[in-house]
Structure 1
């Protein structure tokens, strides 16, 4: 997509963090932005900030875990702007606990919000993009979906790994049809997702992906997302230092697991930022 000027960008989870920063960045590029979030006041505050710059924006309150949410979002977007050009599936939740302590119901909640929301979005927005033969989709995954560095956030990690595979399959299908796909895989980013974490069982501390990864600001990542849309980039990792880790794991997975376990003896378990 060569330009976002007068294009319509729809972002879920856009009241704060990466979603908010991407919305502001897209607006600076001339886009109309639909700010979707379960936090109505937060979403409207972002939309108000965007309108103050002269760009078009509306807020839509939705729960992405609801089957009807994306029909509501689509209808509000078309009523206001008449088209959809970019959809960013960014809403997500995180849970913590040892594998034996996280209940099945919590697995279902995390997968419903993190993964099934993307499935719902596809069912509603893909027909529009396919009909017009142009557009772009961004799905927010995480470093946690690229490689394992903890065992106490398995519902989150599993849902993010699934998003990566889903996105790759969509890229195979959609790229020949003129529709771009980006999967965003953030490393540590300063967002408020930690404030919504549900915890089960004893405190497990927080292991990050590695001390070499600095905590990025949400604004940095928002700019990266918009650049990826404009250059039609598929894999968007927020730090290229992740590549050697992935290569090492692929070459000897057993060694990767053993080395990772050994590293936990000396690795700090203090919070180092979140993966989204």
Structure 2
């Protein structure tokens, strides 16, 4: 059951994320439209935390699963992409529900604040603090949702390696690398450290977390190292990247006699 849910999230990440954001918005709207003194005003805020907790639990489960040793062929863009990670989408969905929760709590606090006497500074301070916290949580959640919607992860193209992170993109042309650029790694490594032969060719857009590491939290790191090594050794085969024939050739080579990049 859980495997089927995670597979569905991976296949339709934008549908899942869009649905979660829409549901969170509907709950906030229903909360704001309910009468201030009604039971509904205080009952609705109990729903988003439960939904958010469920999304976050599924995200943790997704993180414990073995990352795929495979690419997705994007013929339209002419690249091999790391598979869409369900944990990023589920984290963003959880953030949407948690934002809805803090907004509702802040609204309820402001409603109660109007009934407090002016000489109750502690009550007024708590209400204002909750409002500031709600604004901060919403901003952070919007950034996380935008990153998940945009898509994150590594991709290989005829021109090089690209790592799309939550805040920025790192582009490493093939000419910036050599076969000595890849250190030993393991399948479960969360990043792949690169040694550049031409660091001046590396380009960063936005705010990537680092310029020397490719994040591998969405793909088997050893598989990625094998693939990069293959195209460094065989530059004439880079034009096949992004095609079904090129992917079939890559998988045949890697699973037939992959280069020895694993730790001893």
TM-score normalised over the length of structure 1: 0.25
TM-score by length of 2: 0.26
Question: Quick check: which has more Rg, 1 or 2?
Answer: 2
Higher share of residues assigned helix:
2
Give 1 or 2: higher strand fraction. Answer: 1
